[in-house]
C-alpha cells in the first residue's frame, strides 16, 4: 500500500493524457449524441485500465456504464461524465496544462476524478467485490440514473464518490435539496382603461416571494431562495400569470419536511388569484453520520501513505452521493480531483495532487473490499 503514491507518480504523464482526452470529448448533459461519444471514451479508459469492459445501461436514450468485479457488493465507486459546458467550449477553454494546472471544460467536475478512479483500480491485483457506476446525467439531477444509483448502493456496503475536491478536503456532509415551481393565475385587464377589472399576478407573486423567503432558518443551515421569476405580457396589461422557481437547501430531513409542508400550505393573498405548485424534495441530505466511519478510515490511510493530514468539510451543493446516503449506505464524497472553479471560467485541476488522491482511493478500496463483517459507520 505504501508504494501506491510512487507508482501513481510514475503514471502521472499518462493520467494527464487521459484527462485531456476526456476533456477534449465534450459532453454537455443535454446533448445525448455528445454524451454517448464521451461514454465510449470512458468505457475504453476503464477497459484498458481494469481489463474488463463495462455493461452499457441505456436509460431514456442515454448510456450509463457499470463495472462489477465478482459480486461487486463490497464497495461502489460512483462518478459521472456529463458536464455543464456547452459544445464549443473548448474554443475558449482549451484542455491544456499551464504552471501545474490542467484546464478544460469538465476537467474538475469531474473528468479528472474518473481518470484517478480507473488508475487507482489498476494498481489492485484483485478487484473482487468492487463495482463502478459512471452516469451521464448527474448535472441535471440524475433523472434517468437515480433509480440505478440507489439500487446499486443498496447492494453494496460502502460508496466512494469521485466528485471534485476544493483545496483537498473530502465532503463529509452535503445539504439536501428541494426544488419548486410556483405558478400563479390572476386575471388580465387593460392597465390604463380598467385596471380594477384585473387581478394582478405580479402583486400576488411579490406576496409569495416574501412569505417563502421568511421560511429560511440560518441557525439551522436552511436556505430558501426564490430564484427565477417571470410575469406579465405587455407593459399596459394587468398580468394574468406569474411563475416563480424556488431553491431550498437543508442540513436535516426534519428541516426538509418542515419547509416542504410550509410551501405546500401556501395560500393566495389576493382575492381572485390561485396557486399551482410543482416539485418538492429532490435529494435528501448527506448527513455527517453517513460518512463518519469512512472519513476516519480515509484520514488514517492518508497519513499511513505519507501524504499528510486530510480534512473534511460540509457543503451546500448536492451530488449523487445524496442518493446513496439516502438509502442508508455509508458514503464518502469528494474523493476526485483537487482543484477549483467548478462550472466556472477558472475550472482547473492541480496536476501534482492527482497521484496522491488516486493513491488514497486505491488504499480505501483495498481495505473496503476485504471480506470482514466490519462496516464503516
Residues forming the active site: 82, 138
Q: How far is 109 from 165, CA to CA, in rounded Å?
A: 9
Q: Cα separations (Å) of 89 from 1, 26, 39, 150?
A: 39, 8, 18, 32
* Beta pairing partners, 217: 222
Three cell numbers at 173? 456532509
Name the region of 61 (left: φ>0; alpha: ψ -120 to 50; beta: rest).
left
Three state DSSP letters for the chain: CCCHHHHHHHCHHHHHHHHHHHHCCCCECCCHHHHHHHHHHHHHHHHHHHCCCCEEEEECCEEEEEEECCCCCCEEEEEECCECCCCCHHHCCCCEEECCEEECCCHHHHHHHHHHHHHHHCCCCCCCCEEEEEECCHHHCCCCCHHHHHHHHHCCCCEEECCCEECCCEEEEECEEEEEEEEEECECEECCCCHHHCECHHHHHHHHHHHHHCCCEHHHCEEEEEEEEEECCCCCEECCEEEEEEEEEECCHHHHHHHHHHHHCCCCCCCCCEEEEEEEEEECCECHHHCHHHHHHHHHHHHHCCCCCCCEEEECCCCCHHHHHHCCCCEEECCCCEEECCCCCCCEEEHHHHHHHHHHHHHHHHHHCCCCCCCCC
* Beta pairing partners, 102: 97, 349
Name the region of 271 (left: φ>0; alpha: ψ -120 to 50; beta: rest).
beta
Three cell numbers at 305? 501513505
Amino acid at each position: 500500500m505504501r508504494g501506491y503514491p510512487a507508482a501513481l507518480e510514475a503514471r502521472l504523464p499518462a493520467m494527464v493524457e487521459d484527462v485531456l482526452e476526456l476533456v477534449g470529448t465534450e459532453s454537455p448533459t443535454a446533448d445525448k449524441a455528445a454524451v454517448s461519444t464521451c461514454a465510449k471514451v470512458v468505457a475504453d479508459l476503464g477497459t484498458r485500465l481494469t481489463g474488463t469492459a463495462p455493461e452499457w445501461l441505456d436509460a431514456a436514450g442515454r448510456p450509463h456504464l457499470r463495472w462489477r468485479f465478482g459480486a461487486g457488493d463490497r464497495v461502489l465507486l460512483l462518478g459521472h461524465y456529463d458536464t455543464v459546458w456547452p459544445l464549443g467550449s473548448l474554443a475558449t477553454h482549451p484542455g491544456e496544462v499551464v504552471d501545474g494546472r490542467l484546464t478544460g471544460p469538465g476537467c474538475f467536475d469531474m473528468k479528472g476524478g474518473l481518470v484517478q478512479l480507473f488508475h487507482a483500480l489498476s494498481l489492485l491485483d484483485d478487484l473482487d467485490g468492487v463495482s463502478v457506476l459512471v452516469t451521464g446525467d448527474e448535472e441535471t439531477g440524475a433523472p434517468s440514473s437515480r433509480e440505478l444509483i440507489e439500487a446499486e448502493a443498496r447492494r453494496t456496503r460502502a460508496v466512494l464518490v469521485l466528485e471534485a475536491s476544493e483545496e483537498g478536503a473530502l465532503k463529509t456532509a452535503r445539504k439536501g435539496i428541494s426544488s419548486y415551481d410556483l405558478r400563479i393565475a390572476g386575471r388580465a385587464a387593460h392597465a390604463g382603461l380598467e385596471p380594477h377589472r384585473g387581478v394582478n399576478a405580479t402583486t400576488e407573486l411579490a406576496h409569495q416571494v416574501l412569505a417563502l423567503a421568511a421560511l429560511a432558518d440560518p441557525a439551522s443551515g436552511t436556505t430558501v431562495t426564490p430564484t427565477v421569476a417571470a410575469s406579465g405580457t405587455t407593459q399596459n396589461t394587468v398580468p394574468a400569470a406569474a411563475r416563480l422557481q424556488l431553491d431550498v437547501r437543508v442540513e436535516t430531513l426534519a428541516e426538509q419536511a418542515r419547509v416542504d409542508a410550509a410551501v405546500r400550505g401556501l395560500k393566495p393573498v389576493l382575492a381572485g388569484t390561485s396557486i399551482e405548485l410543482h416539485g418538492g424534495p429532490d435529494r435528501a441530505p448527506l448527513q455527517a453520520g453517513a460518512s463518519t466511519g469512512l472519513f476516519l478510515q480515509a484520514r488514517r490511510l492518508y497519513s499511513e501513505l505519507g501524504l499528510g493530514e486530510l480534512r473534511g468539510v460540509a457543503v451546500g451543493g448536492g451530488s449523487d452521493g445524496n442518493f446513496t446516503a439516502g438509502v442508508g449506505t455509508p458514503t464518502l464524497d469528494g474523493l476526485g480531483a483537487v482543484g477549483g472553479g467548478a462550472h466556472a471560467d477558472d475550472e482547473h485541476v492541480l496536476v501534482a495532487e492527482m497521484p496522491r488522491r488516486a493513491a488514497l482511493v486505491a488504499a480505501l478500496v483495498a481495505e473496503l473490499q476485504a471480506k470482514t463483517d466490519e462496516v464503516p459507520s
